[in-house]
């Protein structure tokens, strides 16, 4: 159980983790929280898979979740993904799944509660956040996350 997540998001994470044999990549604010880059509460979950892993596990994931594929996003030569909105079959809980076409240098491995987890690299999360910042509706949370990620990267 990931202590930063609500019970319903823990169920989703554990389910996708089992379906993908641990190949799911934790992203979004949760990945930053798990790497001690940010300290705020987490209210959602963003999961990531490589395109190869998606192709392998797609039918199993589709049996348990409604998947609605959105736009393809390309940022420089480092990120190229499709954003998918996912709903539990009862349509009570939403989460995001990012399917990455660039499959190398996406994640770091960490040990969390005796499980090996894949965590999206902060540098890639920074690129994504900086693109969001270009949107006039960018909020203070995004700006704060950018500062925290840059500080973390510079301390390495």
Secondary structure class of 15 (helix, strand, coil): helix
pTM of the model: 0.88
pLDDT for residue 128:
78
pLDDT for residue 137:
61
Q: Mean pLDDT, the chain, as a whole number? A: 90
7-121 adopts what CATH topology? Beta Polymerase; domain 2 (3.30.460)
Average pLDDT on 33-58 reads: 94
Q: How far apart are CA 39 and CA 36, in angstroms?
A: 7
pLDDT digit string, tens, across residues 88-142:
999 999 999 999 999 888 999 999 989 999 999 999 988 877 777 776 666 777 7
* Beta pairing class for 94-100 and 79-88: antiparallel
pLDDT for residue 15:
97
Percent of the chain residues topping a pLDDT of 70: 97
Is residue 12 predicted with pLDDT exceeding 70? yes
pLDDT for residue 138:
62
Domain ranges of the chain: 7-121
Q: How many Cβ atoms sit within 10 Å of the Cβ of residue 21?
A: 10
pLDDT for residue 111:
92
Is residue 11 predicted with pLDDT exceeding 90? yes
């Amino acid at each position: 159980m990931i202590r930063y997540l609500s019970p319903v998001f823990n169920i989703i994470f554990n389910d996708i983790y089992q379906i993908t044999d641990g190949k799911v990549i934790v992203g979004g604010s949760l990945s930053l929280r798990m790497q001690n880059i940010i300290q705020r509460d987490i209210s959602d979950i963003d999961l990531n898979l490589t395109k190869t892993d998606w192709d392998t596990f797609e039918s199993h994931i589709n049996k348990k979740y409604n998947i609605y594929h959105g736009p393809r996003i390309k940022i420089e030569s480092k990120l190229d993904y499709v954003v998918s909105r996912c709903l539990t079959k009862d349509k009570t809980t939403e989460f995001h799944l990012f399917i990455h076409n660039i499959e190398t240098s996406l994640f770091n491995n960490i040990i969390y509660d005796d499980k090996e987890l894949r965590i999206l690299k902060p540098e890639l999360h920074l690129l994504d956040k900086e693109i969001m910042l270009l949107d006039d509706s960018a909020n203070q949370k995004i700006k704060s996350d950018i500062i925290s990620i840059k500080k973390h990267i510079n301390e390495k």
